[in-house]
C-alpha cells in the first residue's frame, strides 16, 4: 500500500537553529515528491517537486533532498516567519492521485 509518513509531528526551534523535517514514503514507482507550506487557515503553498533519488532543490533557507525511501526538508538558520505546517505528498507512476502525509508543524521562536 502506498503511504507517506512525516516526522516529527511538531518541531520547536529557536531562531537560527537549523534542523530537518522527514518524509518517508512507500510507493510503487515514484513519479514525483512534493513539498508544500501551509499557514493557518490558508491553502497549501507549493515549494518543491523532486523526481529522482539524489535530486536537491533550494529556496531561500529551505533545501529539499530525495532518496529512494525518504525526503528531507532542511531549514537553515530559520526565522519566525518560517513557522508553518510543512506537507509532503507523493505521486506514483500508476495513479494521478497525490498521497499526503499529515504534516510537520514547525514553530520558530524569536
Partner 1 sequence: SQTIHQWPATLVQPVGSPLSLECTVEGTSNPNLYWYRQAAGRGLQLLFYSVGIGQISSEVPQNLSASRPQDRQFILSSKKLLLSDSGFYLCAWSGAGGVADTQYFGPGTRLTVL
Chain residues binding partner 1 by CB under 8 A are 4, 31-32, 34, 36, 41-46, 49, 51, 87, 89, 91, 96-98, 100-103
Rounded least distance, CB 26 to partner 1, Å: 15
Give all strands (DSSP E) within the chain, no chain letters.
3-7, 10-14, 19-26, 30-38, 45-50, 56-59, 62-66, 70-75, 84-92, 98-100, 104-109
- Give the shortest CB-16-to-partner 1 separation in angstroms: 28
Q: Count of CB atoms within 10 A of residue 63's CB?
A: 16
Nearest to partner 1 of 18, 67 (CB atom): 67
Of the two residues 41 and 110, which places its CB atom closer to partner 1 in the complex? 41
Compare residues 20 and 95 and give the one whose CB is closer to partner 1: 95
Question: Closest separation between CB of residue 84 and partner 1, Å?
Answer: 14
- Give the integer Cα–Cα distance in Å for 60 and 40: 21
Residues 37, 43: Cα–Cα separation, whole Å = 9
Amino acid at each position: 500500500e502506498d503511504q507517506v509518513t512525516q516526522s516529527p509531528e511538531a518541531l520547536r526551534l529557536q531562531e537560527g537553529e537549523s534542523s530537518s523535517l522527514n518524509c518517508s514514503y512507500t510507493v510503487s514507482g515514484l513519479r514525483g515528491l512534493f513539498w508544500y507550506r501551509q499557514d493557518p487557515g490558508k491553502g497549501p503553498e507549493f515549494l518543491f517537486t523532486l523526481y529522482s533519488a539524489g535530486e536537491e532543490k533550494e529556496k531561500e533557507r529551505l533545501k529539499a533532498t530525495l532518496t529512494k525511501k525518504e525526503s528531507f526538508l532542511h531549514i537553515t538558520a530559520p526565522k519566525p516567519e518560517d513557522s508553518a505546517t510543512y506537507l509532503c505528498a507523493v505521486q506514483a507512476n500508476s495513479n494521478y492521485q497525490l498521497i499526503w502525509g499529515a504534516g510537520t508543524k514547525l514553530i520558530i521562536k524569536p
